[in-house]
Structure 1
Amino acid sequence: MCKSDQATTSITRTDTELATAMCQDPTRRALILTALATGACLASSSPSIAEEDLPGSNERPQKGDVLVFAEGDRAGEVIKPQDLQAGGPPVRAWPKDPKTSVVRKGSRLNEVLVVKLEPTELDEETRSRAAGGVVAYSAICVHTGCPITAWVKAAGGDKDVFKCVCHNSEYDPRQSAQVIFGPAPRRLPALPLAPDDGPLTVAATFIGKVGAQQAR
């Protein structure tokens, strides 16, 4: 018998012996099943828990972080300008420390909206912190802390804007995400980006307070 056949036989015998032991001794059977279930549970849950508990995952975006997709088939992949569709819709992103590979998704206040617009549409202030026509803002509404989920025609115009569907606040990303409709008291915090064609890289921390007083 060749070595591979011996190995196969050994595995088969082990499985057979285990099954026999479980049938002959109900107590032992229960213990074995419990051990197997516990091991499977730990194996499936540990990576998710560890990722959100890693040091730095709760910290706000830092200079030098790269932005990665927050959802979809490409979740976790670094975002490049060419990945974005001109004119929107925006994509949701997390900042990631490229040195430690920690994705800063330990706090929902770290989520970012990234959208690619025509550079000529941006006002001077917005253009100064854009990567070409790509701009980034906090994804959390400053009114009551809801996530901003809509990209719709502005209530008083024909351009697409960010909208929080909780209380209908609208923000224009071309004008530093100024409030153009609804009860939000101030603009969305902007996240400056480095002006290059590579991976979207954070150039500075958020400008302005992230979220609302009620946000947690």
Structure 2
Amino acid sequence: MTGRPVSAHPVPFPPVEPPPSEWALGQLAAADDDDLVAAGADLEPGTLVAAYRAGLFPMGLGVDGARPIGWWSPEPRGVLVPAEFRERRSLRQARGRFEVRVDTAFTEVMRRCADPAREGRWITDDIVDAYTRLHRLGWAHSVETWRDGELVGGLYGVAIGGLFAGESMFHAVRDASKVALAGLVDLVRADGDPRRIIDVQWSTDHLARLGVAAWPRERYLAALATALEAPPLRFG
């Protein structure tokens, strides 16, 4: 098996620009001490793309992520600069135990991330449907880890310009999600463009050990504006 990302069926490149949103998400501003910016709107492709361009992402405010939709801009923001990814020896060794694929099982990755048994789950059927539509337009992508022909880990997110906004990840065997993240980093830094960033929303101790930093919101939004000027990432 190999750690080199491969794709069985490419999605549109460049991504297909959706009809514009009827919601002015780009005009919203977060309070200094609040991660939640607004509630409502919809999950149309144009709304989601506009939200990410404005530094926002959706997560439902109801039980297990049910509506109404909340629009979030964390303070601070978890960010991984690809060049600062910390790949320990154990992770380098783990890569050889998996095959990394890109965009071969996007909706299945989402379904595994939405497992009802997971604590703090928030990915609803509406979210799965909305991001699958984004995937078909070329905006949303999955990086997957496979072993013996079985999907055992992965992550998904949205790519706009030099931004990859990670949404969720899962693993069924040890190290599978970390290898998927390493595969994503390989993709994001492949062309050496220093404007590219990976947004992980909120940092954790586990992610911090991999190089994720907690940035003030103002710093993230400035870096986002620069990242959006970069050429779109090519998956597959």
Same fold per superposition (TM over 0.5): no
Higher strand fraction: Structure 1 or Structure 2?
2
TM-score scaled by length of structure 2: 0.26
CA radius of gyration, larger in: 1
Could you say which structure has the greater relative contact order, defined with CA pairs below 8 angstroms and 6 or more residues apart? Answer: 2
TM-score scaled by length of structure 1: 0.28
